[in-house]
Amino acid sequence: MIKKLGVTGFLLLMSTPVIAAEGGFTWSHLILGFLEKPLMSIGVDPLPILDMLFVVAGLIAFAYFGGKPFRNAEMVEPSGKASFTHFIEVLVGGIYNFLSGIIQHGVGAKPLFPVLGTYALFILLMNLMGLVPGFNPPTDQWNVTLPLALLIFVMTHFLGLKIHGTHYFKQFVGPLWWLAPLMIPIEVISHCVRPMSLSIRLFGNMTGDHKVVLVFTSILAVGLPIPFMGLGILISVLQAFVFVLLSAIYFEIAMGEAH
């Protein structure tokens, strides 16, 4: 009896993308549907926000339980066994070491680690959410990816001005003053394209991946989508990595010594 209920529950879970395609059903709408009208009344699109709330709740729980052993003691003795605490330590340390290898000027990687580390996990979980039956990835909405990119754009120039002062604008002029009429438009356009590049790349890849999985799930909900879901995991991780990598490079360029 228990096995039959388990199989039935699994089949229902795997069929929710089909229901979503036909009737607009999502778990976020079912659980948090009461927030739709209040969000719409203040001009906020509830479609991605409701799914993002699940990601935020997951990250808060992840941070609370993952950081609990480190809050209770100054040093945590390694147990020699694989554990959730060890996973947190490896994950956080890996992200920090990665950023430290890129951001080496200005304020360094440590002050920026909370921002870029949160970006990495936040974008990754939003991407992976699209592979969970009954959820939509918030990153397949441009009104989600664009604000994330604009925040990086504003912060890079703010730190550039803070570190270099007015000398920061020398990069827009070019190496020779008489090249300024040519270099200024080129540099301004290249800087303005950065948030567009970050947001459209993430939005486009996640939209395409989500549509592919949804199409094959609609054909046959069990079995057929598995290879494409595996590819979706790879794309989700890669897109989160690329977003954080380019963001870190932009910070390093803004705070570098070339100005």
In the chain, domain spans? 2-255
State the maximum Cα–Cα separation within the chain, in Å, rounded to a whole number.
82
Q: How far is CA 79 from CA 82, 83, 85, 86, in A?
A: 8, 8, 10, 9
Q: Are 20 and 134 in contact (CB under 8 A)?
A: yes
Q: Are 121 and 59 in contact (CB under 8 A)?
A: yes
Q: Are 203 and 145 in contact (CB under 8 A)?
A: yes
Radius of gyration of the chain (CA): 22
Per-residue pLDDT of the chain in tens (259 residues, 90 and over written 9): 445 444 444 444 444 444 343 345 677 878 888 888 888 888 888 888 888 999 999 999 988 888 887 777 666 666 667 778 788 888 999 999 999 999 999 899 999 999 999 999 999 999 998 888 778 889 988 889 999 999 999 999 999 999 988 888 888 887 777 788 888 899 899 999 999 999 999 999 988 887 877 777 667 666 666 777 788 889 999 999 999 999 999 999 999 866 5
